Chain A
């Protein structure tokens, strides 16, 4: 009688699927955590104007965002109702835009630093004066590629 007796009857033991839910839950949590809904909380009203001749803004890693508009109702009593610029998570003045762009540019990878696009997410009700000031600041730091972020729709929606 040997110790290494061949087992009789070749039925395979059933593979336990008890850990399958755990694997799937792991996947689930990964997706829940990894899908970022929005980078920064908006502190300004941001109803974008409509346009239909748009181009997609792919490749998020080479885009920096500048928000502008009237402060949303929560911040209205503190910051007033005049349109303001939001950079990252705080309000900013026009002169800070240049420094922000340079900081953002420095934080990107070397090969991307020359192909960055600035996405201007500006509320439709804003006056052009503020937008022109931002554009002027961007020209000063040589961030010349811009994108007026819009929602897709007929231009007639902008006229009322």
Chain B
């Protein structure tokens, strides 16, 4: 009986196949990073002596249970919120020590004195839909970001970044600490020019 030799299967390409699989998994598994709107809640504390705020320094946004918007006592569409908020924040109607030298608004005496005093008050109903609430929040944050971008570009024309990009760069863990040190004061100046004063009232009970 003739003894047949079993042909040896060449295993040399095994590594290539495994590498192919490895690279496939490396590429397809994206380590997902979530993103969203960062907010800070007010701490619970009894305010004994609430500060007196002038009516003209408050910009009220109310969302009712049918998801309709009332901006400064007028029924508005969500697409108007951003421009109205910018107009309010950038008004700079104050005089004397309340005046605002970087504001480019209309200096309307019945609107906010300066961005540091301007407060946006957001009130919603318990029946308001969450996504409408997020849309309103988004537009208000957008208003702040737009103004901050403008000032950041004016103060740092050579940086080639706007405020949002610079802020993202500052938050990025890959950015070197030298650069962070440099960015921090620049960001803080702009943040103090347009501080985010967004107050949320407790929702209406039905």
Residues of A whose CB lies within 8 Å of any CB of B are: 17-18, 20-21, 24-25, 27-28, 31-32, 35, 37, 49-59, 63, 117, 119, 121-129, 131-132, 135, 138-140, 142, 144-150, 152, 155-156, 158-159
The answer to whether A28 touches B22, judged by C-beta atoms less than 8 angstroms apart, is yes
Q: Name the CB-closest residue of A to B206.
A: A129
Stretch at the interface among B88-96, B126-134, B179-187: B126-134
User: Residue B18 at the A interface, CB < 8 A?
Assistant: yes
Which residues of chain B come closer than 8 Å to A156, judged between CB atoms? 79, 135
17 further A-B pairs in the complex, CB-CB below 8 A; given A126-B130, A128-B128, A128-B129? A21-B11, A49-B134, A53-B164, A55-B38, A58-B172, A58-B173, A59-B173, A122-B130, A125-B130, A128-B126, A140-B44, A144-B42, A144-B43, A146-B39, A146-B41, A147-B36, A150-B138
Contact residues, B146-194 vs A (CB, 8 A): 164, 167-168, 171-173
Q: Is B202 an interface residue (CB 8 A)?
A: yes
CA distance A51 to B82 in the complex (A): 14
Which residues of chain A are within 8 angstroms of B203 by Cβ–Cβ distance?
128-129, 132
Q: Complex formed: what's the CA distance from A50 to B43 in Å?
A: 27
A139-B41, A147-B39 given; A131·B139 CB < 8 A: no
Question: In chain B, residues 9-65, which have Cβ atoms closer than 8 Å to a Cβ of chain A?
Answer: 11-12, 14-15, 17-19, 21-22, 25-26, 29, 31, 33-44
Q: A21–B18 contact, CB under 8 A? A: yes
Q: How far is the CA of A86 from the CA of B98 in the complex (A)?
A: 48
Q: A28-B18, A51-B135, A53-B142 are in contact. Are A127 and B129 (CB under 8 A)?
A: yes
Residues of chain B within 8 A (CB-CB) of A150 are: 35-37, 134, 138
Q: Which residues from chain B contact A17 at a C-beta distance below 8 Å?
A: 12, 15
> Which B62-81 residues sit within 8 Å CB-CB of chain A?
67, 78-79
**Is there contact, CB below 8 Å, between B43 and A149?**
no
- Beta-carbon contact of A55 and B43 below 8 Å: no
Contact A144 B29 (CB under 8 A): no
B33 near A35 (CB under 8 angstroms)?
no
Measured CA separation A12–B178 after assembly (Å): 50
Provide the residues of chain B in CB contact with A21, threshold 8 Å. 11, 14-15, 17-18
Say yes or no: A131-B173 contact (C-beta < 8 A), given A28-B18, A55-B168, A56-B33. Answer: no
Interface set of B (CB-CB < 8 Å, partner A): 11-12, 14-15, 17-19, 21-22, 25-26, 29, 31, 33-44, 67, 78-79, 124-135, 137-139, 141-142, 145, 164, 167-168, 171-173, 202-203
Q: Is the CB of A54 within 8 A of B36?
A: yes
Partner of B41, one of A18, A51, A125, A138: A138
A52 contacts across to B, CB distance below 8 A: 138, 142
Find A51's partner among B37, B125, B167, B171 (CB 8 Å cutoff): B37
In the assembly, what is the distance between CA of A125 and CA of B19, in Å?
44
Report how far A148 CA is from B42 CA in the complex, Å: 16
B25 and A32 contacting across the interface, CB-CB below 8 Å: yes
